[in-house]
Amino acid sequence: MADIHPFRALRYDLQRVPTAQVVTQPYDKITPAMQERYYAASPYNLVRIILGRREPGDNGNNNVYTRAAAYARQWRAEGIFRQDSERSIYVYSQAFTAPSGSKFERRGFIALGRLEDYSANVVFRHEQTLSKPKADRLDLLRATRTHYEQLFLLYEDSGEIASLLKPATAPTIEVDDEYGVVHRVWQISDPGVISSVQKKMRDKKLVIADGHHRYETALNFRNGCRAAVGTGSNPQAPYEFVMMTLVNMNDPGLLVLPTHRVVHSLDSFSVDELQKKSSQVFAVEEIDPAIDAERATALLREQEQEKKQHKDRAGTALLAVTANRAFLLHSPKAAGAKFFAGLSPRQQALDVVQLHKCLLEGVLQLSEESIRNQQNLSYLRDPSEALDQVRKGAANIAFLMNPCPVAQVRDIALAGEVMPQKSTDFYPKLLSGLTAYALD
């Protein structure tokens, strides 16, 4: 069962610092240019803790982690960070305009969730993780003993929990980020409301949307603390919990965007060979080579709608675009089955798996390791940028795709299976710096 708890969040004192100057995007979405901008915004910007600058001469006693811990201690001592007096959960709303131009609001709530091993069948992942990012986050957590960024998890109900969390007051925090997303947070301290939410959550299964590396980092940290304590471990110890934002997967504002694949720097690449080999595993239709991003997105959406209307039609619709040719790939053929060893029918039905296994690995002969290390592959949210890359000669081919439906993410996760990296892009990202969970 999902064990959810209120907590006394560590928060910026908004009388001392403007919210907009200190919050950031998640650490793994911060580019070097964004890092510089955050540094310039305020001496108290959270980037100094979650993604500090590396400096010449860094060593075991002076590095990004020790500096992060020093900033954290200093800011608490100065009263820049203050801990809320009451144990609370925090309603979190994000109002945004999607790339399509449609407006949405996504609502969830921030609370502590008990860390559970995947084997307990309470928390489920849908992506594999890499060791390097986990080692980095573990070093930061050990140094600061604080969770500064939210994990993004999904639960499922028909709206009962959201109906309990309808604040009637002005938000505790309100800030616009650099992408025009309006973030609002309300502090809920009513014990009755909190107890009702806890009861409603007890039978829920949780699916990680974003934050796989940080969730597993928190597990590793917990295990280290348990080992240090020994047999007298305490199930209510602070390290047994992690800060989560929990969102109903039926929320109308839960938006998943596609992440397109761009292949570059191939030693040899032939469009004719691509067409020939792809035709062995897909129906391939050559289309207007000048197709733009808007038409490409519409064509993919049309294919998805056609698949829904004709249940007997095999799924998958991909666009492959080179410098001067373009192809619609659909209706996978039986010959592609040879690429799916060890994968379930659920996994094989995913467009992203068809792309990775049949095209990237099968047709283009990219190894799993090279894909994992992004040696010949880059990931882009913007289809216009992907098309531009191939048309200006910076890449060999762009593969455009539809987003993965949330229901497929749920089914894969609950079955104990995983998807290729960057299969989902939940939009927008949770803002870092709204709340933090200090273990001490």
For 115-127, write each residue's pLDDT tens digit: 999 999 999 999 9
286 sits in which H/E element: strand 283-287
pLDDT value for 313: 46
- Which residue carries 């940028």 as its tokens? 385
Supply the pLDDT for residue 231: 67
The letter for the amino acid at 6 is P
Question: Which H helix or E strand runs over 107?
Answer: strand 103-114
pLDDT, residue 146, reads: 98
Q: What is the pLDDT of residue 315?
A: 66
Please report which residue ranges of 202-284 form alpha helices under DSSP H: 212-229, 271-278
pLDDT at site 316: 84
- Cα Rg for the chain, rounded, in angstroms? 23
Give kind and range of the element (H or E) at residue 148. none
**C-alpha–C-alpha distance, residues 35 and 402, integer Å:** 31
Which residues of the chain fall short of a pLDDT of 50? Answer: 312-313
Separation of alpha carbons 279 and 273, rounded Å:
10
Give 347's contacts (C-beta < 8 A, 6+ positions apart): 340, 353, 412, 417, 419
Q: Give the whole-angstrom CA distance, residue 90 versus residue 186.
A: 5
- Cite the DSSP H helix spans in 27-168: 32-41, 47-50, 64-78, 131-144, 160-164
108, 184 contact by CB (below 8 A): no
What's the pLDDT score for residue 204? 97
250 close to 156: Cβ distance less than 8 angstroms: yes
